[in-house]
Amino acid sequence: MKMEKILDATFDGEVFRPDEPVDLKPNTRVKLQLLVKERRKTGKPNSFLDYALSIDLNAPPDYASRIDDYLYGGKSADDE
């Protein structure tokens, strides 16, 4: 069985602990590729605003003002 999945995990000094359940049987061999995430130097937790600014949302410019239309099936940007 070949399965590829990217997941977040924390290294506790001895083992990697996934942040979410992994659908594997115990003692299943895996190959890990590590990408260490940068920590903020201030020691403060990441804010929602920092996160929101860091993602590539690709939303229409009127997304915030017409959120109900986009979420619940009102007019789309293509209808105008």
pLDDT in tens, 13-41: 899 999 999 888 999 999 988 888 876 66
How far apart are the C-alpha atoms of 23 and 41, rounded to whole Å?
Answer: 34
Residue 57 confidence (pLDDT) above 80 = no
- Residue 18 is predicted with a pLDDT of 92
Note the pLDDT of residue 40. 62
Cα angle, residue 43 at apex, residues 41 and 49 outer, rounded to 5°: 90
Task: List CB contacts of 8: < 8 A, sequence separation 6 or more.
Answer: 18, 19, 20
Query: Is the pLDDT confidence value at 77 over 60?
Result: no
Whether 76 and 69 have beta carbons less than 8 Å apart is answered as: yes
Write down the pLDDT at residue 27.
92
Choice among 2-11, 12-21, 47-56 with the minimum mean pLDDT: 47-56
CB 31 within 8 A of CB 22: no
3-state SS assignment for residue 16: strand
